[in-house]
Every structure is written in C-alpha cells, then in structure tokens.
Homo-oligomer: A and B are copies of this chain.
Amino acid sequence: MSAPERGVAMDAAELHAFMIDAFDRPLSWAIERVDADGVRVRQPVAGTDLRPGGTVSGPTLMGLADGVAYIAVLSHLGPAALAVTTNLNINFLRRPRPVDLVADARLLKLGRTLALVDVLIYADGGGPDDLERPVAQSVVTYSMALLTPPDPTGEPPA
C-alpha cells in the first residue's frame, strides 16, 4: 500500500476498506483521488437511483454528498474518527443526466469540535464541460464532540 500524501492519514485503498467495514455492505463508489486538498469519488448510477424522465434521484445525490464529505474527514483524521453529521445543506443546480456521478469534497474547516466540507457533484458522461458545471453543491457539517475524552487507542484529532 502506497504511503499517504503529506497531511493525509489514510489513502484511497485504506479508505475504501474502512468504508466497507464501517457500513457493512459493498461500496459502489470508486475513491479516485485523496490528497491534502480533498477527495474525489465516482459513483455509477444504478436503476434504483433513477427517476422517471431519466434523471437521478435527490436522495442519491444527498447520500453521495454525505459519503464523500465523510471520506474527506476520515482521510485527515484516520480510522479512529467519530464524526457525526449534524447538518447537510444541498443545492440542486441542474438536472443530472443518468451517467456517472463525480463528487469533489474539500475541507472548509477541520476543528476540534466541528468539521465542514464543501462538495460539488458533477454528472460525467464524458463531455468536455461535464466536470465544470456542477449538478449539486453541498456543505456537510460534522460534530467531533464524541472524540472528547480523547480515545487513547486511536489517533488524536487534528
């Protein structure tokens, strides 16, 4: 397993294994990029993600936003993290075509008690502008309150 980048506590393979273990089910997402700036995840859309009219359901986009933001927090804090989503705000900007979803997560803040992650989601059908016009924008907030008292077995929060 390759060494994680500076400022990153887990690499893509470690994050993938952790997510499968934590949620106890197969993970349909590919973690395409993990670095100090953030995380990129690709999700193929399945039949249950679709809505009449050939678009992708809101809950699919919301689940992806929450998931990629959580992976971004984990990538900095390591597997001992106990981050609980306290707020998710999502703007649906454009109707996504039923192609792969690509989500870019970027940490706005990683504090002692709160972490905030900005997420942009794209519908990537291979077109030249597909990764420039987001279909959704989201900010997800996590509380790290449960990390106090510090867990002696795990890595301390940043």
**Chain A residues with a Cβ under 8 A of chain B:** 22-24, 51-53, 55-59, 62-63, 66, 84-95, 108-109, 112-114, 116, 118, 134, 137, 139, 141, 143, 145, 155-158
Whether A108 contacts B137 in the complex (CB less than 8 A), given A59-B62, A89-B89, comes out as yes
Closest B residue by C-beta to A62: B62
The docked-state distance in angstroms from the alpha carbon of A45 to that of B48 is: 18
The docked-state distance in angstroms from the alpha carbon of A89 to that of B139 is: 10
The docked-state distance in angstroms from the alpha carbon of A143 to that of B94 is: 12
Whether A93 contacts B66 in the complex (CB less than 8 A), given A52-B23, A158-B56, comes out as no
B89 touches A114 (CB 8 A): no
The docked-state distance in angstroms from the alpha carbon of A92 to that of B88 is: 8
Q: Identify the interface centre among A86, A109, A139: most chain B CB within 10 Å of its CB.
A: A86
B91 touches A108 (CB 8 A): yes
The docked-state distance in angstroms from the alpha carbon of A66 to that of B139 is: 17
In the complex, besides A57-B158, A84-B95, A137-B139, 13 extra interface pairs with C-beta distance below 8 angstroms are: A58-B63, A85-B92, A86-B92, A86-B114, A87-B87, A88-B88, A88-B89, A91-B108, A91-B109, A91-B139, A91-B141, A92-B158, A108-B137
The docked-state distance in angstroms from the alpha carbon of A66 to that of B59 is: 8
The docked-state distance in angstroms from the alpha carbon of A58 to that of B59 is: 10
Residue numbers in B under 8 Å from A134 (CB-CB): 108
Whether A87 contacts B91 in the complex (CB less than 8 A), given A59-B63, A62-B59, A143-B114, comes out as yes
